[in-house]
């Protein structure tokens, strides 16, 4: 039972609303960061091609012998682990997904693509390889896929960093709000606190009153905020799966996301309890 009527002051009215909103935004932001990290890791593991060779096709150009010469050259080049031509069926499927219509691969005259995987510990002389390919045919092009891979990875890392900083900022805002709300309660109940001091109440006892109240408020507000965030997350996943993006979510990601929604109320409420206690003890000691 609390000797201080903390439930009736102004701070007790607006603090749960702010905490609930902050937890809602923070958990969604953290789950978004986790999703970006998982997607990036999966993309990097599946993307094994480092270079691409384009061999043009035309009625006057025999692409079959060129493909054989290019593959022979690539397999003899130091630093190349594997080189294989992209099957025409895969190109046809890619073209059909882009044009939303099935088009025969022979009617499009798409170039022959050869994916090249490099060995990790060996450096490849890309300009020298380009000259050798140009000697076979001046129309052959060597495309370095590592450039845009690094650019995409850098952009994703920046997004993850910004989302992580935003999550920390949201948690910090919650603690700062708790601190100001506790100071407001101290001012409102200043006379009652003085009476408690006169009858023998210690600063630790008064601090316990505030920390229990902050813990209770934090648990209720953060549980509601995390629950609404979990419902929002489920709705977004349902809509994405309905739109055909079910491959973007796996079991590991779901389990980690549920852990975030479950642990967020406990972490937030404990942090609020500590912030309230430190604020009260510092104020009463001065």
Tell me how many domains the chain contains.
2
Summarize pLDDT for 173-195 with one digit per residue, the tens: 888 988 888 888 888 888 888 88
Cα gap 279→182, rounded to integer Å: 7
Q: Are 225 and 154 in a shared domain?
A: yes
Q: Are 279 and 162 in a shared domain?
A: yes
Range of the domain at 25: 6-45+150-285
Cα gap 124→51, rounded to integer Å: 11
Cα gap 231→225, rounded to integer Å: 10
Q: Which residues of the chain have pLDDT under 70?
A: 1-3, 11-12, 43-49, 58-63, 90-109, 121-122, 244-249
Q: Are 175 and 40 in a shared domain?
A: yes
Whether residue 1 is contained in a domain is answered as no
Whether residue 275 is contained in a domain is answered as yes
How many helices (H) and strands (E) would you count in the chain? 9, 4
Cα gap 233→286, rounded to integer Å: 46
Place of tokens 């390919």: 133
pLDDT at 269: 92
Which residue, 144, 176, 210, sits at the end of a domain? Answer: 144
pLDDT at 107: 47
Dihedral class, residue 100 (left if φ above 0, else alpha if ψ from -120 to 50, else beta): left
pLDDT at 274: 92
pLDDT at 226: 93
The neighbour count for residue 37, using CB atoms within 10 Å, is 18
Place of tokens 């099957």: 87
pLDDT at 271: 92
Reported as type and span, the H/E element at residue 85 is strand 80-85
Both tokens assigned to 18 = 């702010």
Which residue, 95, 127, 144, sits at the end of a domain? Answer: 144
**Gyration radius of the chain over CA positions:** 31
Going by C-beta distance under 8 Å and a sequence separation of 6 or more, which residues neighbour residue 114? 52, 53, 55, 67, 70, 71, 74, 83, 84, 85, 86
């Amino acid at each position: 039972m609390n000797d201080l009527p903390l439930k009736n002051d102004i701070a007790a009215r607006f603090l749960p609303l702010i905490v609930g909103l902050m937890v809602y935004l923070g958990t969604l932001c953290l789950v978004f960061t986790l999703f970006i990290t998982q997607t990036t890791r999966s993309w990097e593991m599946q993307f094994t091609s480092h270079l691409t060779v384009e061999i043009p096709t035309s009625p006057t150009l025999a692409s079959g012998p060129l493909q054989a010469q290019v593959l022979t050259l690539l397999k003899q080049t130091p630093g190349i682990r594997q080189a294989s031509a992209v099957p025409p069926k895969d190109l046809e499927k890619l073209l059909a997904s882009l044009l939303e219509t099935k088009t025969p691969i022979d009617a499009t005259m798409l170039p022959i693509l050869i994916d090249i995987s490099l060995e990790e510990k060996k450096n490849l002389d890309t300009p020298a390889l380009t000259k050798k390919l140009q000697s076979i045919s001046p129309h052959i092009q060597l495309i370095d896929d590592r450039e845009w891979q690094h650019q995409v990875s850098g952009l994703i890392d920046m997004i993850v960093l910004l989302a992580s900083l935003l999550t920390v900022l949201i948690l910090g805002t919650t603690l700062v709000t708790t601190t100001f709300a506790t100071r407001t309660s101290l001012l409102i109940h200043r006379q009652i606190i003085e009476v408690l001091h006169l009858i023998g109440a210690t600063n630790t006892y008064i601090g316990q009153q505030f920390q229990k109240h902050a813990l209770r408020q934090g648990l209720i507000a953060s549980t509601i905020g995390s629950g609404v965030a979990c419902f929002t997350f489920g709705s977004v996943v349902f809509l994405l799966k309905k739109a055909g993006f079910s491959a973007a979510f796996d079991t590991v990601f779901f389990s980690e996301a549920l852990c975030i929604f479950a642990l967020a109320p406990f972490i937030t409420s404990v942090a609020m309890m500590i912030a309230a206690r430190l604020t009260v003890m510092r104020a009463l000691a001065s």
